[in-house]
């Protein structure tokens, strides 16, 4: 099976490349990534020599149809897994246009090029799949009760979630109109190794280790439904194998936590692991709320559980322990990532190959 994994140098994309190459020894992945500030090839530096034989990296934009055509022609792609996106809500408030460009127009480019190569005569080639990786945020915000199901109407509030909803709708339109083999997955908040330290969990870990303020938006009682990234990768694997085309699958592990709980838990675990008493709750600072801040996300994953047999394996507290250990063991990675040094890794190891 030949996969095109876009956004392969980002957080979830890189975790997925490891997961898939290790599980399927006959698989081959073409990884495409623009290497924005969030894409870091150091994330893939743990591939073994054998795995590197089954992985090709191409630096490029999902909006570049010429490049996409070249990739489809050269590699005879079976499955597209589209992780490439601008992914941070706060950034979308300041520069929405790049979100629309990648998360909406980029999806359309990928769909149209895949269609050009997969639709022959009057039918689709066998076994092709286009997996659009989306998010619970497209459903908007919940009150204290209830869950998002696949039938919950889309009601995005941030430029990020609106752009993801736009990508979903154009992907759905390719199925509705052309019967393209598209599947959309919507996952809740991920956490784990290689997450860029702008997102809540790695940001709090890094700031706490450096005795810097821990900025909690609003009253800290917004709720997110946390999923360890490996559980997300397993779900995508199942969707590729058994998912029904034209369908949407919600992914979440019933791990709802208030933000303030998450921050206090990080402090507790970090202090225990480092023995550093300066890591304490005095570091918490309640700051101005994020504009349009969604109050609560919670996924109903019944469909993927009953139809595809998926189940999450890690509780939030288990996943957080593993994640904190990973960050403690990879402090240089964080330093490189936030200083921009990561591009040197690309220049040294990949340019001119
Ligand atoms: P990330 O920001 O860590 O990685 C995104 C990657 O896409 C980066 O490597 C970046 O360089 C690349 N990229 C950006 N624009 C590109 C373009 N135009 N062409 C090619 N590559 C480009 O994001 P992530 O957290 O790994 O998220 C991956 C996907 O999963 C996104 O589609 C996101 O919407 C979705 N998602 C994320 C979460 C989460 O909690 N992180 C939850 C649900 C869904
Ligand atoms: O400094 C902070 N303080 C704070 O209180 C940051 C960065 C965040 N927060 C809050 C905002 C959210 O309620 O923590 C929660 C989590 O924030 P983020 O890590 O920015 O994630 P979120 O906005 O929930 O979006 C994430 O999950 C869904 C990903 O970034 C998206 O890509 C994904 O689609």
Boundaries of domain holding 142: 2-196+228-254+292-313
Tell whether ligand 1 has an atom less than 6 A from the beta carbon of residue 6: yes
Query: In sequence order, what DSSP letters do the residues of 299-316 get, joined into one string?
Result: B--HHHHHHH-------H
pTM recorded for the entire structure: 0.97
Query: What pLDDT score does 345 carry?
Result: 61
Atom of ligand 1 nearest to the CA of 187: 43
CATH number at residue 123: 3.40.50.720
Q: Report CA(255)–ligand 1 centroid distance (Å).
A: 22
- Structural domain includes residue 287: no
148 close to 298: Cβ distance less than 8 angstroms: yes
What is the C-alpha to C-alpha distance for residues 82 and 79, in angstroms, rounded to an integer? 10
Tell whether ligand 1 has an atom less than 6 A from the beta carbon of residue 35: yes
- Structural domain includes residue 298: yes
- Structural domain includes residue 319: no
Atom of ligand 1 nearest to the CA of 190: 40
Query: What pLDDT score does 105 carry?
Result: 98
Query: What pLDDT score does 84 carry?
Result: 99
137 given a catalytic annotation = yes
Query: What pLDDT score does 347 carry?
Result: 67
Atom of ligand 2 nearest to the CA of 217: 5
pLDDT tens digits, one per residue of 273-322 = 999 999 999 999 999 999 999 999 999 999 999 999 999 999 999 999 99
Query: What pLDDT score does 63 carry?
Result: 98
- Structural domain includes residue 326: no
Tell whether ligand 1 has an atom less than 6 A from the beta carbon of residue 10: yes
Q: Report CA(153)–ligand 1 centroid distance (Å).
A: 23
What is the C-alpha to C-alpha distance for residues 79 and 110, in angstroms, rounded to an integer? 12
Our count of domains for the chain comes to 1
All residue ranges of the chain with pLDDT < 50 are 353
- Structural domain includes residue 31: yes
Tell whether ligand 1 has an atom less than 6 A from the beta carbon of residue 14: no
Q: Report CA(290)–ligand 2 centroid distance (Å).
A: 10
Tell whether ligand 1 has an atom less than 6 A from the beta carbon of residue 131: no
Q: Residue 149 CA to chain centroid, in angstroms? A: 20
Query: What pLDDT score does 339 carry?
Result: 81
Query: What pLDDT score does 338 carry?
Result: 84
Please tell me the residue having the least CA distance from ligand 2 atom 16.
Answer: 200
318 given a catalytic annotation = no
266 close to 201: Cβ distance less than 8 angstroms: yes
From 78, 136, 168, 230, the catalytic residue: 136
- Structural domain includes residue 175: yes
- Structural domain includes residue 304: yes
Q: Give the CA dihedral 15, 3, 186, 290, nearest 10 degrees.
A: 50
Ligand nearest the Cα of residue 103 is 1
Secondary structure E strands in 221-340: 223-228, 248-251, 256-258, 284-287
- Structural domain includes residue 338: no
């Amino acid at each position: 099976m030949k996969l095109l994994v876009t956004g392969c140098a980002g957080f979830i994309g890189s975790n997925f490349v490891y997961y898939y190459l290790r599980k399927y020894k006959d698989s081959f992945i073409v990884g495409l990534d623009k290497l924005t500030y969030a894409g870091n090839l150091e994330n893939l530096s743990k591939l073994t020599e054998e795995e590197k034989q089954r992985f090709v990296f191409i630096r490029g934009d999902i909006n570049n149809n010429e490049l996409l055509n070249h990739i489809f022609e050269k590699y005879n792609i079976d499955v597209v897994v589209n992780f490439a996106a601008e992914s941070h809500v706060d950034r979308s408030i300041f520069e929405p246009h790049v979100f629309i460009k990648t998360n909406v127009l980029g999806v359309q480019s990928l769909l149209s090029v895949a269609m050009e190569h997969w639709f022959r005569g009057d039918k689709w080639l066998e076994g092709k799949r286009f997996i659009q990786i989306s998010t619970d945020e497209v459903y908007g915000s919940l009150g204290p009760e209830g869950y998002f199901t696949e039938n919950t109407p889309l009601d995005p509030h941030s430029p990020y979630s609106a752009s993801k909803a736009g990508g979903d709708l154009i992907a759905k339109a390719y199925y509705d109109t052309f019967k393209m083999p598209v599947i959309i997955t919507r996952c809740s908040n991920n956490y784990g190794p290689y997450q860029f330290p702008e997102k809540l969990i790695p940001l709090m870990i890094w700031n706490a280790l450096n005795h810097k303020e821990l900025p909690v938006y609003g009253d800290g009682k917004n709720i997110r439904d946390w999923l360890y990234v490996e559980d997300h990768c397993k779900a995508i694997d199942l969707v590729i194998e058994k998912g029904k085309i034209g369908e949407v699958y919600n992914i979440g592990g019933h791990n709802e936590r208030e933000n303030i709980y998450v921050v206090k838990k990080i402090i507790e675990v970090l202090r225990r692991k480092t023995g550093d008493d300066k890591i304490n709750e005095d570091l918490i600072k309640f700051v101005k709320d994020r504009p349009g801040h969604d109050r609560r996300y919670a996924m109903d994953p019944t469909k993927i559980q009953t139809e595809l047999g998926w189940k999450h394996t890690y509780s939030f507290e288990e996943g957080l322990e593993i994640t904190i250990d990973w960050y403690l063991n990879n402090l240089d990675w964080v330093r490189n990532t936030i200083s921009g040094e990561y591009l040197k890794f690309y220049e040294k190891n990949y340019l001119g190959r």
